[in-house]
């Protein structure tokens, strides 16, 4: 699968590790930057990666900033993106099974490299269950008011 990767300066070194892991699992990485540890704005790179998913060029995106939260906010502003900020494997698993998350955000200051790799591997291998979850996603997409 093609995976867009975007990060700010804080996520640069973790991105390199995650990209290597994804490639070793047979995935192709489209790296939208940033490409160094020089200060960079996470909204730019969250949006660039999300655009790759929305255009169909990539099936999913992996985003990395200090906490994962800021870059997930930037990506989730784009209709059609369901970005899960995960710091554990269980949330990563269910974000795919129940929410069909098409983007994953990681916090480079929150999770270590090995845990991040486990989260990514679980997330990449998990499949959407559909069923009742499809109806709930339709509610979100329709901006249902309750």
Please, what are the averages of pLDDT over each run of 10 residues along the chain (146 residues)? Answer: 98 98 98 97 98 98 98 96 98 98 98 98 96 90 63
Look at residue 142 in the predicted model and tell me its pLDDT.
81
pTM over 0.75: yes
Structure confidence at residue 146 (pLDDT): 47
Q: Please report the pLDDT score of residue 73 as a whole number.
A: 97
Q: Can you tell me the distance from the alpha carbon of 132 to that of 34, in angstroms, rounded to the nearest whole number?
A: 38
* CA dist., res. 44 & res. 98, Å (int): 28
CA torsion sign for 33, 37, 40, 43 is positive
Task: Report the pLDDT value the prediction gives residue 140, as an integer from 0 to 100.
Answer: 82
Specify the 3-state DSSP secondary structure of 131: coil
Task: For residue 95, give Cα distances in angstroms to 13, 19, 103.
Answer: 25, 20, 9
What is the distance between the terminal CA atoms of the chain, rounded to a whole angstrom?
36
pLDDT at 139: 87
Indicate if 86 belongs to the active site.
Answer: no
Residue of 27, 58, 65, 83 marked active site:
65
Per the annotation, the verdict on 98 as an active-site residue is yes
């Amino acid at each position: 699968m093609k995976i867009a990767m975007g990060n700010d300066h804080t996520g640069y070194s973790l991105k390199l590790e995650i990209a290597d892991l994804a490639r070793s699992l047979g995935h192709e990485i489209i790296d939208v930057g940033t490409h160094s540890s020089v200060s960079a704005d996470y909204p730019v790179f969250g949006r660039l990666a999300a655009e790759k998913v929305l255009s169909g060029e990539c099936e999913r995106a992996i985003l990395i900033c200090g906490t994962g939260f800021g870059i997930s906010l930037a990506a989730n502003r784009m209709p059609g993106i369901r970005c899960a900020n995960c710091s554990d494997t269980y949330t990563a698993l269910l974000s795919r099974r129940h929410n069909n998350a098409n983007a994953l955000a990681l916090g480079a200051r929150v999770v270590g490299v090995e845990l991040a790799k486990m989260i990514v591997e679980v997330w990449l291998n998990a499949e959407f269950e559909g069923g009742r979850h499809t109806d709930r996603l339709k509610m979100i997409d329709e901006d249902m008011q309750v």
